[in-house]
Each structure stands twice: as structure tokens, then as C-alpha cells.
Amino acid sequence: MPWEVCIALANVSGKDLWLNIPAHATDDYILQLATLLLASVDPSLFIYYEYSNEVWNWVGFFLSLRGFPFFPSHASLSTSPQEFEQADYNLNEANRSVVQDGDPNLLNYDHCNNAGYWAWRRTAFMCKHVADIFKTVFGDDGVGSGKRVRPILSGQVSSPEPIRQGLVYTETVWGPPSRFFHAIAGAPYFGLPAKINNDPNLTVEGVFEGFDQSIAAQSVTAGVDVRNPLAVHVALAYHYGLQMRAYEGGPDTAGPNLGPAYLKVKGDASVDPRIQARVETYLTSWYQYGAAMGPLNYFVAGATPLIDQWGVYGILFDMRVQDGPKARGVDAIRVLPRPSTPTSAIPQVPFTANCTRDRVGAPFPVQPPYYCAYFGANETFDFFLQHTDATPSQKLSVVVRVGTPWKNATLGVQLNDGQEALVACPTSPAGWTGTVPCEAAVFDAPQGVALVSLRSIGAYSAYRTYNIFDIIFSLLNE
């Protein structure tokens, strides 16, 4: 579709524009596009963009999710079977940049020698690079977080690593990501677990059972350990001062083709009145993560066939019938105020967080507190909290209780994307097994959901600096 048609559609509908910059676009192409957008888009509309589309979508990504490392360092990787051409291109360009060109963009700044990491970092670099070009047209005040042109760094919700690699790279090499990006994004569809999706005798009731399981698994009430990668993405958004967005989302019925009757069941479920409640629960769960959550782009905002192995995505099944159950579910949430966050999921201050149980992205099943007992140099642990009645005079106190034999150990404590507080942790007389409180880190009390990050930044580079026991969150009144 020509850019001019996209622009006209945005202008006529009065809706913001969301663009995907082609992976192969030259700097001149990007400059001309920015010039066209400035001249043609209604100035009251925001312009969102991603670098290409799903450039994480290559075979190494899926292998990495299954525990296989991906460490090639060849001049070209084009012979490997890729999912998307643009992902193949990005992977090869990242590899060429490091191996052949001397790494001008510092994709291998940490000497990781992992071509998969280079590709994810290049995605972030290109998103920033496009922003730099757009700034020559829209000005520095026109591009960035909360500005008219809003760059989006996209990954995949099923694994936080592509986004994490991009953000850590950006911060380390170029500066705070909020200087360059407006949001991170993924595609948090709700679908069918494999056991249900592979059942040749699938029923409509089975589809709804699967949907319920999928929605629950990514809700904040499911917990924030490694089984809930959406929660890990949300923590990254809070930590870096970005929005969490969904470039796509909604019900996903994609799966095997087990015959016409099997596919018809999925189509029938997609127009069954009961799907309205699932859409409402899904969207409510999205916004229950708090203020970091931006709008979710429903895919597809139109009509699609009811018989399709690759998914019945449409919000409608017939453009002449505007009152379908999916659309009613979206409309019901769209007009409501944001839902509150359940305190059973994210506790209200004051409370004490257990490191093993409450750390965002903690391993599962819960084992003896290996990770908390071996908090090493430059590691970061994240913890959610919420406070709904903050006043200007209130302060948040964070006291971390640790065991350490080291002298002069220092811990970094950060609230959301604010200034990191450095606190001293005394030597424990009993070493690793003793419990002593570090100095309190004190911040202005946050309103709503917030994130506290702990970072080991002591003078020691040992793999084990602290044994973290718990974190005490309390309120102080000036």
C-alpha cells in the first residue's frame, strides 16, 4: 500500500499512524519518508513506527527458546532457514557489520560473539538510527518518548531476550533508551495450548477452555516468574521509562489442519457470543499491569474468513455486521476507566518481598534460592510494588536484607527509571548465611504500580557478592 494511501486513511479517520519502516530502506528513503509525513499527516496525529516487522523471527530465535545456543560468527548466514526475509536480512547485516566492517555500531561491545544478540541489538540500533534521520526533519523536539513521532522497539512476548538485548545495548552504547524510544512492544495473543490445539476432536468448549488458560497465563494474577514473559517485558518498560505496547494482539486460533470439522469449530468459537467475555478479560488483564501499559493494537480490525488454518483473527466476520461479539468486547473495555491492579498480584506498600518468590522473571519451579544467594557483580533483580494513595509528603523506603562477607559492598537501588541510589551493606558476622540490613534507599512515594531494581555494583567482581534474603518496602511521612 502506498504511503500516501496510509496517510490519507489516518487523516480521514482522525487516527494515529503506525508504520513499519522497510528493512532494506536506505537513509535517503527514510529521509524522503519523513519529509512526506511532515508535509502530509494531520499535525494533531501521532506517528508511531517500528523498524520493519518481526525482525526477531528467524530460526535461531526459536532454537534459543528451546535452550540451544546460537553463536555463529561468519560473514554470511543466508544459508540458514529463516522465517521472515527481513529477519534474515537483519541477522546477516548485523553479522557483516561486526565480522567484516569492524563493528562500527559496537554491536559486540561486550565481546559476546553471539550473532543472535548482534541481530537483536541491530534492531535497536536501526530504530534509533531512523529516529536520528527523522529528527533532521521533525526536529529534536518532534521525535522520541511522548513526542509527535514515537519510535517503537519491538520484540516477541514469548521471550524477553530480544528486547532486553536491545535496551541494554542502547543504554550502554548510546544512553538512556527513553531518549530514543517511546515504547517497547510485542504480540501478546491469547491462543490454544498445544494439547488442546492438537486434539482432532476439538470442540467449541475446548477452544474456550484453551483461551481461558492462555489469558490467565499472561495476566498479572498468574505471577511474575519466568512462566509469565509478559510480566518481564512490563518490568523492562518500567525500568527504562517506556510504554509497553502491543503491535498485534487478540485471539489466535492458528494451528494444524486436522480437517474441515476441526477448522469449523475454531470458526464457530470466533463468532460465539461467549468470546466477548474472553476479549473483555484479556484487555482488562493487559491494563491491570498499571500505567506503563499503552493501547493494544487488535489484529485484525476488520473481517476475516471463519475457516482458516492460520487463524481467525478478524474482529468481525462480515464488514456489513458491525456488532460482532469480539467488537462488543473491545468496545466494552474501550469506554471504561483503567482497571485497578489486584493487590493479590502486586502488593501494596508496606510489605516485605521475598527474593526467591517475588523477583520478576524468577526461575520456576522454585528451587533453593540459588539466584538470590548468588547475586553477583552487575546483576539486576526487579520487584513490583504498588501504592495507590501517595501524597507529596510521603517517601518510599527500601531496605534490602543481605548476607555478605565482603567489606565496603555497595548496592544500587532504583525506582522505575529514576536516579539510582547507592547504599552501603555491612559485612555480616555470619558471612553468606547471616542477615543484615543495608542502608535504606529513600524515594518520593510512587503512585500506582512501580518497579524497584537492585544492582550489585560493589568494588568486587566476584560472581557472588550478596545473598539477598528479602526487601522491606515501607512508607515514611515527612
Task: Express each pLDDT in 247-279 by its tens digit.
Answer: 999 999 999 999 999 999 999 999 999 999 999
Please name the residue that has the C-alpha cell 487478540: 250
Which range among 114-118, 171-175, 448-452 shows the weakest confidence by mean pLDDT? Answer: 114-118
Q: How confident is the model at residue 148 (pLDDT cuts 50, 70, 90)?
A: very high
Residue 292 pLDDT: 97
> In the predicted model, what is the mean pLDDT of residues 113-118?
91
Same domain, residue pair 303 and 357: no
Q: Give pLDDT tens digits for 223-247.
A: 999 999 999 999 999 999 999 999 9
Q: Give pLDDT tens digits for 296-325.
A: 999 998 999 999 999 999 999 999 988 999
Please name the residue that has the C-alpha cell 476441526: 262
Whole-number Å distance between alpha carbons of 161 and 70: 13
For 99-124, the DSSP string reads HTT--TT-TTTT----HHHHHHHHHH
Q: Which of these three, 284, 306, 334, is where a domain ends? A: 334
Q: How confident is the model at residue 460 (pLDDT cuts 50, 70, 90)?
A: low
Q: For 363-446, where are the alpha helices, taking DSSP H only? A: 370-373
The grid cell for 69 is 545456543
Q: How confident is the model at residue 377 (pLDDT cuts 50, 70, 90)?
A: confident
Q: Which of these three, 306, 334, 362, is where a domain ends? A: 334
Which range among 14-23, 116-125, 440-449, 463-472 shows the weakest confidence by mean pLDDT? Answer: 463-472
CA distances from 455 to 226, 380, 399, 409, 413 (A): 19, 5, 13, 11, 6
Same domain, residue pair 152 and 205: yes
Same domain, residue pair 102 and 231: yes
User: Model-level pTM?
Assistant: 0.94
Same domain, residue pair 305 and 395: no
Adjacency order of strands within the sheet including 17-21 = 17-21, 47-51, 149-154, 183-186, 243-246, 293-296
Whether residue 69 has pLDDT greater than 70: no
Residue 379 pLDDT: 83
Same domain, residue pair 106 and 219: yes
> In the predicted model, what is the mean pLDDT of residues 106-114?
94
The grid cell for 366 is 522454585
Whether residue 150 has pLDDT greater than 60: yes
| Residues facing 452 on adjacent strands | 383, 415
Residue 368 pLDDT: 67
Same domain, residue pair 257 and 381: no
Q: What is the mean pLDDT of the chain?
A: 91
Whether residue 72 has pLDDT greater than 70: no
341 in any annotated domain: no
CB within 8 Å of 175: residues ≥ 6 apart: none
The CATH number given to whatever domain includes residue 27 is 3.20.20
Same domain, residue pair 167 and 304: yes
Residue 465 pLDDT: 80
Positive or negative CA dihedral for 231, 237, 238, 242? negative
Whether residue 60 has pLDDT greater than 60: no
Same domain, residue pair 229 and 84: yes
Same domain, residue pair 308 and 399: no
Whole-number Å distance between alpha carbons of 66 and 390: 43
Residue 30 pLDDT: 98
CA distances from 39 to 4, 32, 42, 138 (A): 11, 11, 9, 10
Q: Which residue has the higher pLDDT, 130 or 389?
A: 130
Same domain, residue pair 301 and 367: no
> In the predicted model, what is the mean pLDDT of residues 429-447?
93
Q: How confident is the model at residue 440 (pLDDT cuts 50, 70, 90)?
A: very high
Q: Which of these three, 284, 305, 334, is where a domain ends? A: 334
Same domain, residue pair 312 and 377: no
Whether residue 143 has pLDDT greater than 60: yes
Q: Give pLDDT tens digits for 348-366.
A: 999 999 998 899 998 888 7
70 in any annotated domain: yes
343 in any annotated domain: no
Q: Give pLDDT tens digits for 43-54.
A: 999 999 999 999
C-alpha angle with apex 248: 247 to 253, nearest 5 degrees? 165
Nearest alpha carbon to residue 55 among 30, 78, 84, 81: 84
Q: Determine contact, residues 105/122, Cβ cutoff 8 Å.
A: yes
Please name the residue that has the C-alpha cell 503512585: 447
Residue 73 pLDDT: 44
99 in any annotated domain: yes
**Structural domains counted in the chain:** 2
Share of the chain above pLDDT 90, in %: 80
> In the predicted model, what is the mean pLDDT of residues 412-439?
93
118 in any annotated domain: yes
**What three-state secondary structure class fits 178?**
helix
Whether residue 13 has pLDDT greater than 80: yes
Nearest alpha carbon to residue 250 among 155, 329, 161, 185: 329
Residue 1 pLDDT: 86
- Could you count the other beta carbons within 10 Å of the beta carbon of residue 420? 16
187 in any annotated domain: yes
Residue 212 pLDDT: 98
DSSP element (H, E) containing 39:
helix 27-40
340 in any annotated domain: no
264 in any annotated domain: yes
The CATH number given to whatever domain includes residue 445 is 2.60.120.260
Positive or negative CA dihedral for 305, 306, 312, 318? positive
Whether residue 63 has pLDDT greater than 60: no
Q: What does the radius of gyration of the chain's CA atoms come to, in whole angstroms?
A: 24
For 175-236, the DSSP string reads S-GGGT-SEEEE---B---HHHHT-TT--HHHHHHHHHHHHHHTSGGG-SSTT-HHHHHHHH
> In the predicted model, what is the mean pLDDT of residues 33-38?
98
DSSP element (H, E) containing 28:
helix 27-40
Q: Give pLDDT tens digits for 173-223.
A: 999 999 999 999 999 999 999 999 999 999 999 999 999 999 999 999 999
Q: Which residue has the higher pLDDT, 240 or 462?
A: 240
Same domain, residue pair 161 and 244: yes
Residue-number span of the structural domain to which 172 is assigned: 3-334
> In the predicted model, what is the mean pLDDT of residues 20-27?
98
